Amino acid sequence: MGNLMYALWRPACGQLAHTKSSTEQEVTMSLVDAKTAGSPRRAALLQAAADLFAARGYHTVSIDEIGQAVGISGPGVYRHFASKSDLLLTICDVAMDHLIDGGRAIAADADAPGRRLERLLDFHIDFAIREYTVLSVYLREQHALSARDLRALRRRQRDYEGLWCDVLGVEARLTDGEIRAAVKLLLSMLNGTAHVRDSVSRVRLAATLSRMARGAVAGAVQG
């Protein structure tokens, strides 16, 4: 499942993640702040790295450019991160921390069992729209990680996918294989938002994605 999920979560080609319209506001990496990153400088470096990786690709960005983006020298970056790969891994881990923690909270909510699938949809759509720079880096650049780090990241992807399978399995009369396939397809659609290049506002895009995702879920639940 891991290799297929990895393939589904990756973009179809190596194009830039997104192109901002003239009326679209800058979306920041709001998952990272001084508290979660450990210091304001680390948070700023993670934000700069995410922006640069999303715009130009991991391999074309240098440590010097990341440092320059926050007003320090390239060697100064190493006081906060061991390597450029460490920056990339931290960005990916921040994304998975957010998804797994939020997904677990929703899946464990016994007060509204009939709404858990809908809440998972809303949660992931919010992430895909609000954190599209982070999501783009996560999807497109994770292959640049070491084999060990990539295996660990894929295990976390499967953990998150498993949360969706558990929730969908309660509501849908499907086999285990059908549930896993439905979740893979649904997450692929949700994550594809990061690669929309057209001049569509994020608000309109979120509304469109919500309608499409709910239609897909309804079809899966009905079997």
pLDDT digits (tens, 9 = 90+) for 139-182: 999 999 999 999 999 999 999 999 999 999 988 889 999 999 99
Place of tokens 């929309």: 196
For residue 14, the model assigns a pLDDT of 32
Answer whether 95's CB lies under 8 Å from 132's CB. no
Helix-strand-coil split of the chain, %, nearest 5: 75, 0, 25
Output the pLDDT for position 109. 86
Average pLDDT for residues 23-31, to the nearest whole number?
47
What mean pLDDT is predicted for residues 69-80? 94
Contact 57, 21 (CB under 8 A): no
User: Which domain CATH number covers 218?
Assistant: 1.10.357.10
CA distance linking residue 86 with residue 70, whole number of Å: 17
Angle at 96 between CA 23 and CA 25, to 5 degrees: 10
Measured on CA atoms in the order 100, 95, 145, 188, is the torsion positive or negative?
Answer: positive
Q: What pTM did the predictor assign?
A: 0.82
pLDDT of residue 152: 97
Distance between first and last Cα of the chain:
22
Q: Give the span between the Cα atoms of 202 and 17, in whole angstroms.
A: 14
pLDDT at 172: 85
* Residue range 86-94: mean pLDDT, rounded: 96
Cβ distance 161 to 100 under 8 Å?
no
Q: 132-141 vs 116-130: helix axis angle to the nearest 10?
A: 90
Name the pLDDT band for 63 (thresholds 50, 70, 90). Answer: very high
Rounded mean pLDDT of 12-26?
34
Q: For the chain, give the percent of residues with pLDDT over 90.
A: 64
Number of domains observed in the structure of the chain:
1
Average pLDDT across the chain, whole number: 84
- Domain span including residue 64: 2-222
CB 135 within 8 A of CB 197: no
Instruction: Tell whether the model's pLDDT for residue 79 goes beyond 80.
Output: yes
User: What whole-number distance in Å separates Cα of residue 76 and Cα of residue 198?
Assistant: 37
Q: What is the pLDDT of residue 34?
A: 63
- Quote the pLDDT of residue 222: 76
Give the mean pLDDT of 10-28: 35
Looking at residue 221, its pLDDT comes to 78
